[in-house]
Structure 1
Amino acid sequence: MPRFWNALGDIARRKHSIGIQSKLLIMLLSVSVISVLITGAIGYRSGTDSLRQAEFDRLTQLRESRAREITAFFTNVADSATVITHGATTINAAREFTEGFEQLENAPLPEGAEPRLDAYYQDVFAPRLSSSTGRTADPAMFEPAGNAARYLQSMYTVPAEGDTDAAIAMVDAGDPSPWTQANKRYQSFFGDLTTRFGFEDSLILDTSGNVVYSAYKGVDLGTNLDDGPYKGTVLTDGYQQMMQATSVDDTLITDFERYPASFDLPTAWVLAPIGAGNAITGVLALQISIDEINEVMTGDEGWNRDGLGDTGETYLAGADKVMRSVARKLVTDPAGYESDVINSGTDPAIAKRQIAVGGSILLQPVDTPAVNAALVGEHGVRIERDYSGPTSLVAYGPVDIPGLDWVLVAKIDEDEAFEPVNDFARDIALSTAAIVLVICLLSLVLARVFTRPLKVLSDAVREVSSGNLGATVPVRSKDEFGDLAAAFNDMSASLQTKQQLLEQQQQENEELLRTLMPEPVARRYRDGEEIITTDHRNVSVIFAEVIGYEEFAGTLSSTESLGLLNTLIDEFEAAAELRGIERVRGLRNGFLATCGLVVPRVDHAGRTVAFAIELSKIVQRFNARHNARLALRAGIDSGPVSSGLIGQKTMMYDLWGEALDLAHRVRSATGDPGIFVSDRVRSNLSGMYSFIDAGTVQGVDGTESVWVLTVRSDDE
């Protein structure tokens, strides 16, 4: 055994020291990891720089490409306006619509036109404008005052009830006016021009500022830009500039502005003078489509296809540092967009407004360093936090569109832009980890082969410490490990034998303890209590003894006598267990027992009397078997008793108290056999059994009556 513990001590000392294998493992890992880290750091630095520059170059190319596309879009729109205004169709249409409009100034309004017009502005236009602006619109501010405007709108605008498809399809209102005749001739041309080129509307304005024609017959038809409801708009400013143009080849593109006639939607115009030579007879105003601009700036929502990944976008911004095109995330994830821009400082009301109208033009602020730099004419790239929060790679620059102070920004989230760099770093990290892992695995395999016997022995020691004393380990070698395993097996077997002997002795002690006292008392004794006593308020106590056994045993040998007595006592104990009677201690020819002591019972008196009757029957059967003349004498009382362990060295479980004393006295009241009970027992059981007065005994409180049970024939 000492050899085993010495061996374990050697193992423990070696466990806390660094062995040769551990030192070799440390050296291999150090060299490999350091070399890989140096190589990876160099590769990461050069790769990061080149990939970063490549991403900036790609973003710059995308910005330039978008700038060319949007510039080409506006150039084409302006050129188209110039070509259209030079055509005879437009020149003639301007003249005829102007003449027809002038004649309507004095024409009577159709019957019912006034209430229909009032109802349209009250019930259709004003509610829709209020819904778009979020403010209550007063219809009186927009309803035209001029006779010609009211005539045209009652005949063309009101019947369409805001339906643009119905409005542009209306060619003939059914009236004989010259204006309607002109509309019948030219509506198909201008309607096709508007829809084919994607304009929101096409207007013809005369030299007095009157809107003498509208392709969609909107609420601006017939109004005057100088004194009508839409004066002061960018359309008015553009018209005035075109009327002062020195050539009919001039064009003007306006910035976006909220235009009430289009229900407060952002509106931009391209205007061109109408006329031949230097004579300007009117102005053509083409309302540029927001969708067309957004289609260019989003690549028809093909951001991924254009190389912008999941977070990139290009957008326009004006001199007021507000967007002039739609934000990507507003299209793809409105809820996420709202949360992002609010967290980045955008007014929540503005953010919610963008969600409501589905657009960010003239709403989303983009006051970023990139936009500010582009507005002063700079081109460049930088990394900065954009309007929606994330740090982004940004390429910026002004847009060369005559008349517009706009800039274009191309951006993509830094995390996504540098994802190739991260992938490269991850590959290096994984390669390093793989090399280190291979080295570790090889070293660990060799170490485990060498230390496997120690691990097996260590596991067996843990088993023994957890209680499995029979654990053994196989002896597979003849070296020190084999000697250590054999010593362990000897120790384990020795411990198991001792444990088995200890458990056997403990079991015997438990059984002996249960014969000396009830289980609850034994439990308290095992728990270490020194003074164990319990007061019981109401239990039944029986003293039972067999009379005449000494005379009967006198004819028998001591062995036979003891054997028959044990048989009789065993039957008594079996009857006690059946009736729920608790044996306290044995007497010379009987025993002391209780009912309701360990297990409380409300019928303890009845059980005790029934038990006494059963004892009488057992004695009678014994007499019949052995031709004996034994008799039973028992005393029963109910009342308070105390129980507990008496003595320190030679402990004994015993009872004491009034009920015990009285039960002892009543059994000796006459000296005759029988079942004697106290007055308390008789009172409780008088309805179940018959009792005869057997005299009196002296009790604690004076004289006590004693009664003897009259056993009925069915009890015998």
Structure 2
Amino acid sequence: MTEAPPDRRRAGISILSKLLAMLLGVSLLSALVAGIVGYRNGTDSLRAAAIERMIEVRESRAREIEAYMDSLRHTIILDSRGIAAQAIPELHDAFRELDEEPVPASEQAAVRDYYEQTFVPELEGRQGGEADVGALLPTSDAAWHLQASYTAADPDWDVRLATNDAGDGSAWSAANAKYHDFFRETVEQKGYEDILLLDDEGNVVYSAYKGVDLGTNVLTGPHSGGALQDVFEQAERATSVDTMAISDLERYTPSEGRPTLFAASPVGSGGQASGVLVYQVPMDEIDGIMTSGGAWEKTGLGRTGETYLVGPDHLMRSVSRGLLEDPEEYRDQVVANGTPRETADRQVAVTGSVLLQPVESFAVDESLRGRSGTGVSTDYRGHETLGAWMPLDIPGLQWVLVAELDTSEAFEPVRDFTRNLLISVAVLVLLVSLASLLLAQVFVRPVRHLVSGVREVAAGNLDARVAATSRDEFGELAGAFNEMARSLRTKADLLDEQQGEYERLLHTLMPEAVARRYQDGEETIAESHSDVTVVYAEIVGLDDLTRDMSSDEELETVNLLVRGFDEAAERLGVEKVRTLRSGYLASCGLVVPRVDSARRSVEFVREMQRVVAAFDAQHDAALRLRAGLDTGTVTSGLVGRQNVVYDLWGDAVNLAFSLPRANDRPGVFVSAAVHDRLRDQYSFREAGTVESGTGGSSTGPEPVWELEEDSRG
């Protein structure tokens, strides 16, 4: 045998190396270009989305606070035209009568004791420091009389609000008894801190809560010179009774130094003002709007976002989220950012940042200049935030609104996207490198004699064969190829049969779309669906019917019923989820969204009742159906890894399971959501309540309605 000639290839770069270098170069360049383009487009889109979210929050809060102020204006103007115009002249005359009566020493002592023992200690505890009792005492005889009869009579504000007549026999008490019910109901319904009536001389001739400002004069009395005097003078100067004057927040001594906002409107008729109606507006309403009642995350502010108001003095006009959620951490943060320690301590002590917390930021400066905008800046806690700011359109107030979210949270999607992109590119480069090496090694080998056979097999001709003409590795490869082709033919035939059976069985266990994803290799499949109607039906009496049956007879009975249910479900567009021995779980609107999912589900249950009735008639049985229906958001997906089961879960499923428990009798029971949708199409009757909620936590009773048997759609 002649020996093979020696390998005389010249030294140099091999084809394998060249092919490998080419593939790696192209793949790396492609990954780099795709990564850069994807990074720029993705990060820009995510940043824009974060900014847009803050703008939406800002605009929403601005509309709410401006609407509240506008509602306040309409309310006070309307009230100033009505009963207030009747009350002020009578209260003024009665006030003058009291001012002409000497003040007994007993009344003076009672009032002084109230100030020294009750009001001043509370005032000092609230605002710190010491208060001069003498400077706070009434300065008119009428004020002494009124505060002795009402203010000092009981330290409980609610008791004073409920008092119509102190029983002193005065004309003022008679007038108070005549008009107080109206103003008390207004205070209780609107939640005002107080309602004051001032005559044209500035005397507080009426107070709903009968505080220490009752009977005082806002121009010359112990509480003059503040916001109440300002709004009184503005209202007095108004040329029309259809006017509201409003003050900025200011600490009001009669309210124990709490920040107070006054709204005032002139009272009178025929163009002649007889006094002023004043509402003492509660901060709780403003704070409730700015904090959304504490539901920051539900309103788009995440874990760190907040909205707050700031006045022209750069002090807050609403409460800080950080102070409410974690006062100690809040104190450390604002102190570290320059807020005086005593100011921070005061905020924690009173659980309020209004008129205490300074806010020096670019956002506030721009808003006070009348400019709206968005951007990244440092807030009053020293945090870098993404903010949206704007001046508010409230006549008489120079307030600005700031919506902020820490950049660590606002741009978290950007960081996640960047990290995922880098990981994806790195994995792609690794996979391409491995694939390039493998492909280069495979394709440079002399396997041309196998190409034709491979192409035939690739074209679907599994009967193709390759002649094994050599005894080396390529000969073995050819033999193996032939064996593979024969094996592929055998296995292909088996696989075709098994695949058909597998797909048929799979489609009976789960919806077609889920089955397709599962076949494509997805292991974790879960989807949330809204506006889905869930049906859970139980066959009552099945245990008694099948108790003496064999297993085969019992299975045949159950299958007969289930086949009827399945046919009805397919006919009405209802998707079967799973079948229990005596229960049937289905949904409508899950796979195919349907606007009439609730109606279809009711019709499906009625068809199920007909199936059961037909079965009873045919087999002389006494089966009945008890079903529950609820509409809401559900989650569907595959549960388990070794034994995969398609299932449905969520509050709507839980409630559908619970509804039949409202009564022991058979019937069709629906939730309030289904009842509200179909009450114009079907007849229902109340059937009790069930406890709703998940995870063992009840959220309260859920009303249950029963579909009447003679109901018609």
Q: What is the TM-score when the length of structure 1 is the normalising length?
A: 0.57
Distance 1:153 1:191 in 2: 18
Counterpart check, 1:301 vs 2:291? no
CA offsets per residue over residues 167-191 of structure 1, 9 Å max, x none? 2111121111011111111111101
Query: 1:114 is aligned with what amino acid?
Result: Q
| Aligned with 2:56 (options 58, 61, 71) | 61
Residues of 1 paired with 2:161 and 2:104: CA distance? 21
Match of 1:276 in 2: 269
Show CA shifts across 1:215-269 (max 9, x none).
0000100011111111100110110121121111111111011111111111111
CA distance in 1, matches of 2:24, 2:185: 77
- Counterpart CA distance in 2 for 1:198 and 1:271 is 16
2:425 corresponds to which residue?
A: 432
Instruction: Report what 1:92 is aligned to.
Output: 86
Q: What is residue 486 of structure 1 aligned with on the other side? A: none
**Is structure 2 residue 382 aligned with structure 1 residue 389?**
yes
Mapped to 2, the partners of 1:127 and 1:211 lie a distance apart of: 24
Q: Where do residues 193-232 of structure 1 align in structure 2 (5 Å cutoff)? A: 193-232=186-225
Q: Assess, with a 3 A threshold, how the Cα gap between structure 1 residues 56 and 153 changes in structure 2: closer, same or farther.
A: same
Gapped runs of 5+ residues in structure 2?
1-13, 440-713
SS in 2 for 1:305: helix
Residues 445 and 208 of structure 1: is their aligned pair in 2 closer, same or farther, counting only changes over 3 Å?
same
Cα 1:444–1:147, aligned 2, differ >3 Å: closer, same or farther? farther
SS state at 1:56 partner: helix
* 2:133 corresponds to 1:153: no
Q: Deviations over 1:16-63 (max 9, x none)?
A: xxx999999999777655543432222111111122122222212221
Distance between the aligned counterparts of 2:234 and 2:26, measured in 1? 78
Q: Does residue 358 of structure 2 align to residue 365 of structure 1?
A: yes
Determine the C-alpha separation between the residues in 1 that align with 2:399 and 2:212.
30
Q: How does 1:44-443 map to 2 (within 5 A)?
A: 44-87=39-82, 89-109=83-103, 112-161=106-155, 163-436=156-429, 438=431
Q: Write out per-residue CA displacement over residues 75-128 of structure 1, whole angstroms, 9 at most, x where no aligned residue.
A: 1101100000001x2111111111111111122446732222111111111111
Quick check: 388-397 or 421-430, which moved more? 421-430
TM alignment of 1:515-554, pairs within 5 A: none
Quick one: distance in 1 between partners of 2:32 and 2:404?
33
Q: Say which SS state the counterpart of residue 210 (structure 2) adopts.
A: coil
Aligned residue identity for 2:76: A
Q: 1:278 to 1:37 in 2, by over 3 A?
A: same
Paired residues of 1:344 and 1:389 also in contact (CA < 8 A): yes
Q: Once the 2 structures are TM-superposed, how far is the Cα of residue 435 of structure 1 from its aligned partner?
A: 3.3
**Secondary structure of the equivalent of 2:317?**
coil
Distance 1:365 1:28, change over 3 A: farther
Partners of 2:197 and 2:206 within 8 A in 1: yes
Does the 8 A contact of 2:23 with 2:436 survive in 1? no
In 2, the alpha carbon distance for the partners of 1:108 and 1:223 equals 17
**Secondary structure of 2:427's partner?**
helix
Checking the alignment, whether the CA contact within 8 Å between 1:78 and 1:253 is kept in structure 2 is: no
Assess, with a 3 A threshold, how the Cα gap between structure 1 residues 198 and 444 changes in structure 2: closer, same or farther: farther
Shift in CA distance, 27/248, structure 1 to aligned 2, threshold 3 Å: same
Distance 2:295 2:351 in 1: 18
Tell me the distance in 1 between the aligned counterparts of 2:32 and 2:137.
77
Deviations 1:361-404 (A, max 9, x none): 11111121111111111111111111111111111111110011
The 5 Å alignment of 1:454-465 reads none
Q: Are the equivalent residues in 1 in contact too, given 2:139–2:222 (CA < 8 A)? A: no
The 1-side partners of 2:17 and 2:342 are apart by 66
Aligned equivalents of 1:45, 1:401: Cα separation in 2: 41
CA distance in 1, matches of 2:237, 2:413: 56
> Residue 433 of structure 1: CA displacement?
3.8
Aligned length: 427
Query: Quick one: distance in 1 between partners of 2:17 and 2:320?
Result: 60
- In 2 relative to 1, CA 345–33 (structure 1 residues): closer, same or farther, beyond 3 Å? farther
The answer to whether the Cα contact below 8 Å between 2:198 and 2:206 also exists between their aligned partners in 1 is: yes
Describe the superposition over 1:337-384 as per-residue Cα deviations: whole angstroms up to 9, x where unpaired.
111111111112111111111111111111211111111111111111
Give the whole-Å Cα distance in 2 for the aligned partners of 1:304 and 1:120.
45
CA distance in 1, matches of 2:190, 2:314: 29
Equivalent residues of 2:147, 2:214 under 8 A apart: yes
C-alpha deviation, 1:149, in angstroms: 0.5
Residues 225, 434 of structure 1: alpha-carbon distance in 2 compared, 3 angstrom cutoff: same
Question: How has the CA–CA distance of structure 1 residues 105 and 21 changed in structure 2, closer, same or farther, with 3 Å as cutoff?
Answer: farther
Q: In structure 2, how many angstroms separate the alpha carbons of the residues matched to 1:445 and 1:393? A: 49
Change (3 A) 1:342 1:444: farther
Residues 93-102 or 56-65, more deviating: 56-65
By how many angstroms is 1:430 displaced?
A: 2.7
- Give distance in 1, aligned partners of 2:268 and 2:144: 28
Partners of 1:437 and 1:137 in 2: CA distance: 76
Greater CA deviation, 27-36 or 247-256?
Answer: 27-36
Q: Write out aligned runs for 1:599-638 (5 A).
A: none
Q: Compared with structure 1, are the counterparts of its residues 22 and 321 closer, same or farther at alpha carbon in structure 2 (3 Å cutoff)?
A: farther
Partner of 2:485: none
Q: CA RMSD in A?
A: 2.5
Q: Deviations over 1:488-528 (max 9, x none)?
A: xxxxxxxxxxxxxxxxxxxxxxxxxxxxxxxxxxxxxxxxx
Residues 295-325 of structure 1 deviation map (CA, whole Å, 9 limit, x = unaligned): 1111222211111111111111111111111
Change in 2 beyond 3 A, CA 1:171/1:431 = same
* Cα distance, 1:145 vs structure 2: 2.2
Q: Give the C-alpha shift of residue 152 in structure 1.
A: 0.7
Give, in whole Å, the separation in 2 of the partners of 1:71 and 1:63: 12
**Distance across 2 between alignment mates of 1:32 and 1:326:** 56
Name the SS of the counterpart of 1:227 in structure 2: coil
2:545 corresponds to: none
Residue 159 of structure 1, CA deviation: 2.0
> For each residue in 1:390-429, what CA deviation from the matched residue of structure 2 results, as whole angstroms up to 9, or x when unmatched?
1111111111100111111111111211122122112212
SS of 1:393's partner is strand
**1:33–1:432 CA contact under 8 A, matched in 2:** no
Distance 1:252 1:171, change over 3 A: same
Classify 1:263/1:29 alpha carbon distance in 2 versus 1 (closer, same or farther; 3 Å): farther
The 3-state SS of whatever aligns with 1:324 is: coil
Asked which structure has the greater CA Rg, the reply is: 1
Q: Secondary structure at the match of 2:86?
A: helix
What is the CA distance between 1:442 and its match in structure 2?
A: 8.6
Cα distance in 1 for partners of 2:283, 2:177 equals 29
Relative to structure 1, the CA distance from residue 215 to residue 44 in structure 2 (aligned partners, 3 Å threshold; closer, same or farther) is: same
Distance 2:121 2:285 in 1: 27
